[in-house]
Chain A
Amino acid sequence: MVGSKNRKLQLILLYTIAIIFLIIMVYPYLYMILNSLAPWDQVDRKIIPTGITLKSYIWLLLGGEDVTPRPWLRAFANSIIVTISSTFLMMVTALLVAYALSKIVFKGSRTINNIIMFQMFYPSIILLIPTFLLVKKLGLYDSYWGMIIPKSVSLWAIFMYTNFFKAIPNELIEAAKIDGANEIKILFKIVLPMSKSITTVIFLFLFMERWVELLWDMLVVHNQNLLTLNVMLAQMFGPYGAYPGPMYAASVILTMPILILFIIFSKNFKEGIQFVLK
C-alpha cells in the first residue's frame, strides 16, 4: 500500500521533470511565435504579450515608412526550390549507388565502399575554397544550380542505404529477376517500398540540413532574388536590428515548414531512427 503511494509520487515527480524539460526545449520556438505576433511595443519586453497583431508579418512583406521591402516570399520560394531539388537528387543518387554497392556484384564495390568511409570522416572545410572557385569556373555562380549541384550527392545517405539494403534478402531480388524485372524496376518497386522508415529518416535529415544551410548558399549566390530564406535572414540580422518583430516573423516562416514536415512524419521517423543510430 505504502509502496504504491510512493510509486505514484515518484511518477508525478518524473512527469513534472519531463514536462519542465519539454518546456525548456520548445521555449525558443514559443518565444519566436509569440513575439512575431506581439504588438511592437511589447516585443521582447513581455513574457506573454497582451495582444495579437499581424503587423510584423505585414511589415515584413510590404516594408515600412522608409524601409523598402525585401523579397521574402521570393526567398521562401527559392529555399523550397533549392531544398527540394537538392534533396531529391541526393535521395535518387543514394538509392542508385547504395543498390550497386549492396546488391550488384562488381569488382570495384569494396574499394568504393572504403573510399566513401574515408571521405565521410574527411574534414570537408578544406574543400570549401577550391569548390567555390570550381563552381565559379563552371559558370554556376549566382544560380540555383550553384546551390543544387554541389549538394546533389550525400555520402551519409549512400552509407545508410547501403547498410540497410544489405539486410534485404537476395532471394527476393533473384525471384524478381526470374520474373523478368530489370534492376531499376527492382530498386523502385521492391527495395524502396521495403525501406519506408529509413527513407523517411534519410529524407528528413537531408531536407532539414539543406534547408538551414548557410555558409555555402551565402558564398555562391549574390543576386538578391536568388537568396534562400535562411541566407536572407542572416543578411538582415544586422540591418533589421531595430525591427525585432519582423525578424521573428521571418524566423517563424523559416522554421514552420520543417517543424510541420517533421511532425507529419514523426511516426515513421521513430521507427527509422533506431536503424540510423546503430
Chain B
Amino acid sequence: MKKGQEKLGWLFASPYLVYSLIFFVIPLFGALFLSFTNWNLISPQYENVGFLNFIQSVKSPGVKAAFFVTYKFMIIFVPMVLIGSLILSLIIYSLPRFKSFFSVGYFLPYLASGVATSVVVRGILSYNSALNAWLRNTWHLNIDWLGSPILAPLIIAVMISWKFMGYYSLILTSGLESIPGEVYEAAAIDGATGWIKFFKITLPLLYPAMFTVTILAVGLVFGIFTEPYVLTGGGPGFSTNTWQIEIYNQAFSKLNAGYGSAIAIIDSVVTFVTIIIVRKLLEIWGKTYGWE
C-alpha cells in the first residue's frame, strides 16, 4: 500500500517533472551557456567570448534605456494603478447593491488583448480623431501624442493601468471587507469622520492588500512588451524601450542570441533585486507606522 503510493505520487507528478526538465532546467543552463558566446542564431559556428556580451550590454544605449525606462514606468504606473484600484474598490465596497455587477464591469479591461487596445488607442489619438479635432478647433492644440518621448510612456502607463485596475481592485475590496465593523464603530464613538477615518483606519488596515498589489504592479513593469511593441516600437528615441523589447530586438531582429541572453540575465538580476528592495522598503514603512 505504502509503496504503491510512492510510485503513484511520482507518476501523477511526472507531467510537471518532464516539462520542468525540458522547459526550465535545460533552457536555464542554455541561457548561461549562450550568454558567453557570440552565436547569431543561424551560423553553425560560434566562439566563447567570455564576459564580452555583459560588458557590451552594460555600455549599450538600448540596455541603459531599458534600465531607466522600467523605473520611469514604475514611478508613473505604480501610483496610478494603486490610486485607481483603490478608488474602484472603495466604490464597490460602499455600494449597498449591485456590488458584483460593478466589480465584474470594472474587471472587463483585464480581458483585453494589448494589441486590440493599441488599435483603439492609435485611433483615439490619430490626427483626424474626434479628440484631436476638438483640441485643434477649440484650444488650438496640436499634440503629437505617440511622437512625444514624454507622452508616449505616459499613454502606455495609462493603458496598462486601465487593464489592471479592476483586477487589483478585487484584491483591495476583499481587504476592505476583512476590516471588522467594530473598528469603525469605535472610531465613530471617538468622533472620527470622513477623511480622518479613511487615513487613520481604512488605509493602515488595508496595508496587507496594498502590499500585495504594489508587489504585483512592480513585477508587472518588468514584463511590459505588447503595448510598446505594437504601438511605439520602443520609441520615440528609446523612451518606451522596455527590457523585453530590447531582448526581443537583439535576439530576434538582430539575431544576436548570445548577446540577447546576456541582457536577459542582467534583466532578471535587476528584476530580482528591485523586487527585494521594494519589499523591504514596504516592510520598513509598514513597521514605522505600526501597520502590519
Contact = CB atoms under 8 A, between A and B. Distances in A.
Interface in A218-254: 219, 230, 233-234, 237, 244, 247-248, 250-251, 254
B109 interface: yes
B130 A45 contact: yes
User: Interface of chain B, helix or strand or loop or mixed?
Assistant: helix
A115 interface: yes
Interface of A: 11, 14-15, 17-18, 21-22, 25-26, 28-29, 31-32, 35, 43-47, 93, 96-97, 99-101, 104-109, 112, 115-116, 119, 122-123, 125-134, 150, 152-153, 158, 183, 208, 211-212, 214-215, 219, 230, 233-234, 237, 244, 247-248, 250-251, 254-255, 258-259, 262-263, 266, 269-270, 273-274, 277-278
A219 B95 CA distance: 46
A141 B247 CA distance: 20
Contacts of A259: 108, 111
Contacts of A29: 108, 112
B199 interface: no
Contacts of B252: 132, 219
Contacts of B282: none
A11 B123 contact: no
A258 B43 CA distance: 42
B112 A255 contact: yes
Contacts of B10: 100, 106, 108
A96 B12 contact: yes
* Chain B, interface residues (CB within 8 Å), range: 35 or more
Given A105-B9, A133-B257, A254-B113, A25 B119 contact: no
B133 interface: yes
Given A21-B87, A28-B162, A45-B129, A106 B120 contact: no
Interface stretch (B18-26, B71-79, B142-150): B18-26
A131 B264 CA distance: 13
A104 B9 contact: yes
A88 to B, nearest CB: 13
Contact of A183 (B12, B17, B129): B12
Contacts of B226: 212, 214-215, 234
A130 B30 contact: yes
Given A100-B13, A158-B16, A11 B230 contact: no
Contact of A244 (B28, B91, B123): B123
Interface stretch (B57-65, B267-275, B283-291): B267-275
Contacts of B96: 11
A244 B110 CA distance: 23
B34 A93 contact: no
A150 B24 CA distance: 10
A256 to B, nearest CB: 10
A41 to B, nearest CB: 10
B193 to A, nearest CB: 13
Contact of B130 (A47, A112, A251, A269): A47
